[in-house]
Amino acid sequence: MPKKSSLVMFKRISKNKGALFGMFIVILMITVSIIAPLIAPYDPYKQDLLSSLQRPSLKHVFGTDIFGRDVLSRVIYGARTSISISFFAVLIAIFIGTTAGTFAGYFGGTIDEVLMRFLDILMAFPDILLAIAIVAALGPGKSNLIMAIAIYSFPQFARVMRASVLSVKNSEYVEAAKAIGESNISIMIRYVVPNAITPIIIQATLRMATAVLTISGLSFLGLGVKPPEAEWGTDLAMARVYIEIAPHLGIFPGLALFLTVMGFNLFGDGLNDALNPRLKDR
């Protein structure tokens, strides 16, 4: 991205308080997930039955669960689990979606028709239902969770990329590259994709929010991350049993999930405003 464009983007984001707040939450959660072993006060998997269901205190800031495990440590490690799974799932979805969308938009014709009809079939199913069906068929686990999220996410990236490619494929620089005899693959890699990729960046941020929510939802249903691994949805599933006598078990993982999803959504909306070419710099 050119230096001038970057400055314009950061200027627009700086004027958007919601985007700044979202960016702060996203950076905070990513940082927490990376340095989790360094900042977690206790081993999130170490059980101490004598300390079970303790309320928040100076020793255990977020309290302990039924097995005496520190809730704060599990919330911190839960960020690592959710964000890492979401990142790899969205990364795979971006690769598949942008490849399919680029070919469909650039070549058109039969390729475009076949790919778009296939995507229409996938998009006919609600995201969470498709994810449940895939995980139920393949079984719970991180790898299957990543696959499920990638499968229901890539059609959105393909659609967005196709629309973006259609808007740039007839540009003068593309026509000039064709005139000098460059291959279609070279033109797509060197000219089309770099100039059509901006909407994908925005979409990726928003899909991260959806992915984090899906991971927790599936884990809550017992189809996602397997216990005893720390994950917000898994911990919320256990917390519902003890909600009356130990409400802290659900409050803190739920709050972490809420803030993370809100952060990615706010930041994504801010990026959309900042990178939208129809908006004029003020």
pLDDT tens digit string along 97-156?
999 999 999 998 888 899 999 998 888 888 888 889 989 888 888 889 999 999 999 999
Q: Which residue has the tokens 């700044």?
A: 20
pTM of the model: 0.89
Does the pLDDT at position 2 exceed 70? no
For the chain, what percent of residues have pLDDT higher than 90? Answer: 58
Where do the H-state alpha helices sit in 108-220?
109-123, 127-138, 142-168, 172-179, 184-187, 193-196, 198-220
What's the chain's average pLDDT?
89
160 in a domain, yes or no? yes
Rounded to an integer, the average pLDDT of 42-57 is 93
pLDDT of residue 208: 95
CA 66 to chain centre: 30
Question: Worst-scoring range by mean pLDDT, 18-22, 59-63, 90-94?
Answer: 18-22
202 in a domain, yes or no? yes
Mark 82-108 as b/e (b = at least 16 C-beta within 10 Å): bbbbbbbbbebbbebbbbbbbbbbbee
pLDDT tens digit string along 213-248?
999 999 998 888 888 899 999 999 999 999 889 999
18 in a domain, yes or no? no
5 in a domain, yes or no? no
**How many domains, the chain?**
1
CA 65 to chain centre: 28
Mark 169-197 as b/e (b = at least 16 C-beta within 10 Å): beeeebeebeeeeeeeeebbeebbbebbb
Type of residue numbered 252: F
9 in a domain, yes or no? no
CATH assignment of the domain containing 176:
1.10.3720.10
pLDDT of residue 5: 52
pLDDT tens digit string along 182-213?
888 888 888 898 888 888 988 999 999 999 99
49 in a domain, yes or no? no
User: Is the CB of residue 71 less than 8 Å from the CB of residue 50?
Assistant: no
Angle in degrees, CA 61, 258, 76, rounded to 5:
40
Provide the greatest CA pair distance for the chain: 77
17 in a domain, yes or no? no
pLDDT of residue 282: 45
